[in-house]
Amino acid sequence: MLRLLYSLLVSLLSPAAFARLAVRSIKAPAYRRRWRERLALQRLPEQRDLAAPLIWIHAVSVGETVAATPLVKQLRHDYPTHQILITSTTPTGSARVLELFGDTVLHAYLPYDTAGAMRRFVRKFQPSLLILMETELWPNLIHACSRRAVPVVLANARLSARSARGYKRFAGLTRPMLRQLELVAAQSEEDAQRFIDAGAKAADVRVTGSLKFIVEVDYSAPLAAGVFDVINDSERLVIIAASTRAGEEEKVLTAFERVLSAHPSALLLLVPRHPERFNEVARLVQARGLSLGRRSENDSLTAEMQVYLGDSMGEMMSYYRLASIAFVGGSLVDTGCQNVLEPAAFGIPVVTGPSQYNFASICRQLEAESALHTVPDEQRLADYLIDLIPDWPRQAEMGRRGKALVERNRQSLPALLSLIEPILAPQADA
């Protein structure tokens, strides 16, 4: 009964949802495109071969898509006869799917959770399995899959204490939904228990860890000959400012100038995120009177050099191997932070600004382990670095804790795949 009332409410609110899309499209025109997909009224894509079993993965936006990437890659490898459909709800999520996978997967927007739209979508695409990422639980979606005997897996599952209270408040709607899940692969013991308390079957809940910790780093790859060797052998403390964004380099340089006043031998390895800005950033450094070297020119390190510009592509892992402390960019400007797991995987203390929404949960976990420190602005960044640089034991402990956290979660993907395999095995054998 509650699901019927919920369905009525969703249907009544659908016009408001389309109005919101129209408003958002004023600044982001992508929101006014492909609107038929929001109600599952689009034609079945020509690429969809109904003779092939389909694995459907729903990743609501960018963060979930990134987390699902190693899973998608492994599923493509393990089940080559299956097609893969990825759904999202935002244009940024859609763009990230295209960027990561091109035409090797199908993509569509997830329809609004009306009973009719979800029935149409499931009937049209005929999935063999639905994998939902994190907390993307929609009553009509799961009900539509259940009616067509499509198993539903909640992967990388998390449930905050606040959300758990909400689930219990509407137990008449959420408990039946949770009991229809084939599997809940939770990030932690706490998440697992909250799902059980909210109504999921205990036998169907497993702790597999967080997929967001799956980061590909090559610890053994040799450093490129030449300047990297010189920097590595210089014994200078290297601070990397990785994947910085427009408006952020000025803040980083302001902080670093203060660091130099206290630690004159420190070297800043500055790596902008976008290659089209390399020359612009070089001019920013020179305008401040700082001695600059550039990777693109294979400049040799000198004792006087204060900033080395990592203006190359595909060498970030080598840059991290040179660093003692990592500031991860996109965080002192409001772009949500870049990947904090890469430096953590190398055992490097991590510092970020306050904008962390792309990696919010990861930052919280690293900070809880005392492996990451958040600063509100460039002044506090300078203060923190000045204190951290001479404290070698604290650097080592932060790096050890971060690397250990990454290592503990590395088995999350094999653990999840081992649970999915029995579900897909009959299809793979068919």
Q: What is the set of active-site residues?
A: 64
Dihedral class, residue 298 (left if φ above 0, else alpha if ψ from -120 to 50, else beta): left
Residues in the chain: 430
List strands edge to edge, sheet with 205-207: 106-109, 83-88, 54-58, 129-133, 152-157, 183-186, 205-207
Tokens of 277: 């800005």
Residue in 306, 356, 427, 358 with CA at minimum distance from that of residue 96? 358
Spatial separation of the C-alpha atoms in residues 305 and 287, rounded to whole Å: 15
- Report yes or no: 111 and 80 within 8 Å, Cβ to Cβ: no
DSSP 276-303: GGHHHHHHHHHHTT--EEEGGGTPPP-T
SS3 406: helix
Sequence-distant (≥ 6) Cβ neighbours of residue 289 within 8 angstroms? none
